Amino acid sequence: MQRLTLTSAVAASLLLLGCNNPNAVDPFHPPESIEPVYSQRGPTAVADPSPSLPMANYPNKGHTLPRAFENQPPLNPHKPNYQISAKRNTCQSCHGINAKADVPVTHSSHRLDNGELDPHYYFCVQCHVGQADNIEPMVGNSFSAPGYPN
C-alpha cells in the first residue's frame, strides 16, 4: 500500500515537472524553428567582452511624436534617462505643475485630488518610452491600429 502511494507520488511529480509532455521545450536547447532572443550584447558568451553600443541618438527632441493608437501614452521625444529614484523624480523638475511654458505639464490624470503625483504614475518611463533611431529593437513588432501611422 505504502509503495503504491510512493509510486503515484513519483508519477505525479514527473507529470508536474513536464517529463511526460512530448511537446515540452528544453529551454537550454530550443529547436531551430524558435528564433533565439538575445540581450543587446548579442550571442556573446557571458565571460567575453562585447563591443559597446553607439551613443543613443534622439532625433525628435523638440517635437511631438504621432501616436500609434488611441490613448497611447505620448512617446518621449527626448532622452529618457533622467533619474527616477525613491527620493527624486527628475522628470517632475521639468514636467511638474510649475513647468515652463514650452514644457507639457504632467497629465492631470496622473494627479490625486490633493494635487500630488499619484504613486501609480511615479515611474514615468514605464509608459513614456524614449525613441532612439540608432538602437535596434531586440524583438520586432508589427502592431498597427486602424487610422494610425505604423
- Is the CB of 41 or the CB of 122 nearer to ligand HEC? 122
Segment contacting ligand HEC (CB under 6 A): 27-35, 48-56, 95-103, 135-143? 95-103
Q: Of the candidates 133, 146, 138, 145, which has an alpha carbon nearest to the alpha carbon of residue 56?
A: 133
Residue 44 backbone zone (phi > 0: left; psi -120 to 50: alpha; other: beta): beta
- In whole angstroms, what is the distance from residue 137 CA to residue 149 CA? 19
User: Is there binding between residue 138 and ligand HEC (CB under 6 A)?
Assistant: no
User: Is there binding between residue 7 and ligand HEC (CB under 6 A)?
Assistant: no
Binding mask 53-72 toward ligand HEC (x if CB under 6 A, else -) reads --------xx-x------x-
Smallest gap from Cβ 122 to ligand HEC, in A, equals: 6
Smallest gap from Cβ 81 to ligand HEC, in A, equals: 7
Can you read off the three cell numbers belonging to residue 72? 497611447
